[in-house]
Amino acid sequence: MQKPTKTQLLRSAGEVRPARRALFLAIVLTVVALAGCVSKGDFLRLQERVARMDAIEQDSPDPFARIARLSADVEALRQEVRDLQGELELARKEAADALEEVRRTRSVIAEGGAAGTSEAGAAEEEAEAALATETGLDQELAAYQTALGVWREDDYPACIDRFTGFLQSWPESGYADDAAYWLADCTYKNDEFKRAVVRFNAVVSVYPDSPKAPDALYRQGESLLKLGPKFHEAARTVFKKVQKDYPASERATEASQQLERLGAG
């Protein structure tokens, strides 16, 4: 039977997995010693080779673990988008229900007063309606100013609560686009960048003609950059959209600068 050569034994030691290398090394050394054809220097070289193989394998990144982490991040972002869309739908439904209730109330009042309402009664109702409208507008403005005051104080969690409540109470307000923008801004400054992406996008989607729209779209790109290199391509797409949809805005110039930093893509 032909004895194994030193080269064959050294190659075999390098191919064995780390968990079994120690045992394999002991066996190889025993076999080689019995064969009587190896020097002390050969033993040392064999040990060094096994140690190098262990170090290389430990330093090698696990691509499957990295893929798993990326998949988990993407799924988490998708879930947050679904959650926010659900919240938005709920707020819209509540607003629609409230408007429908107002219409029904007005219809009942109109039907009840149609039969022989005096001029004095009609004037009184008009005065009450005007007072109610004025009171409602005062409450709306007060709520908006309160939320804006919290934003100026940099109390971002409270700012988020205030503007969320405002949009739920007055979804058709003339301040709604501003409120939606400041809500997204507070979210960004509170380091909730994934949620900020969705909320800045909502400003552009719901209020595309608002003066806040170019800024909101640009800030959406900034939020994507905060999420790291794997979102840079998405940010590049957003900055190009700023240039295309709002070419005359100041943000279009800033978007061009961002694209230069990111590269042509």
| Per-residue confidence (pLDDT) for residue 192, from 0 to 100 | 96
Taking only the tens place, the pLDDT of each residue in 98-140 is 566 656 666 666 666 555 455 544 544 554 444 444 455 689 9
Q: How is residue 257 written in tokens? A: 């600068």
| Per-residue confidence (pLDDT) for residue 66, from 0 to 100 | 62
| Per-residue confidence (pLDDT) for residue 244, from 0 to 100 | 96
Q: Is residue 210 within 8 Å of residue 193, measured between CB atoms?
A: no
Average pLDDT over residues 160-183: 95
| Per-residue confidence (pLDDT) for residue 218, from 0 to 100 | 98
Average pLDDT over residues 174-185: 96
| Per-residue confidence (pLDDT) for residue 138, from 0 to 100 | 80
Average pLDDT over residues 14-43: 50
Instruction: Evaluate if residue 196 carries a pLDDT over 90.
Output: yes
Based on DSSP, count helices (H) and strands (E) in the chain, helices before strands. 11, 0
Residue position matching structure tokens 């279009």: 252
| Per-residue confidence (pLDDT) for residue 102, from 0 to 100 | 56
Q: Residues with Cβ < 8 Å from 151, sequence gap 6 or more?
A: 159, 162, 163, 182, 185, 186
Instruction: Evaluate if residue 49 carries a pLDDT over 70.
Output: no
Q: Is residue 248 within 8 Å of residue 255, measured between CB atoms?
A: no
| Per-residue confidence (pLDDT) for residue 70, from 0 to 100 | 64
Q: Is 68 exposed, middle or buried (0-12, 13-18, 19+ CB in 10 A)?
A: exposed
Exposure on the CB side of residue 51, measured as CA atoms within 13 A: 6
**Domain boundaries, given as residue ranges, for the chain:** 6-59
Average pLDDT over residues 221-249: 95
| Per-residue confidence (pLDDT) for residue 181, from 0 to 100 | 97
| Closest to 24 measured CA to CA, from 34, 13, 33 | 13
- CA separation for the pair 159, 1 (Å, rounded): 84
Longest dimension (CA), the chain: 125
71: left (phi over 0), alpha (psi -120 to 50) or beta: alpha
Q: How many CB atoms lie within 10 A of CB 118?
A: 9
Q: Is residue 14 within 8 Å of residue 53, measured between CB atoms?
A: yes
| Per-residue confidence (pLDDT) for residue 242, from 0 to 100 | 97
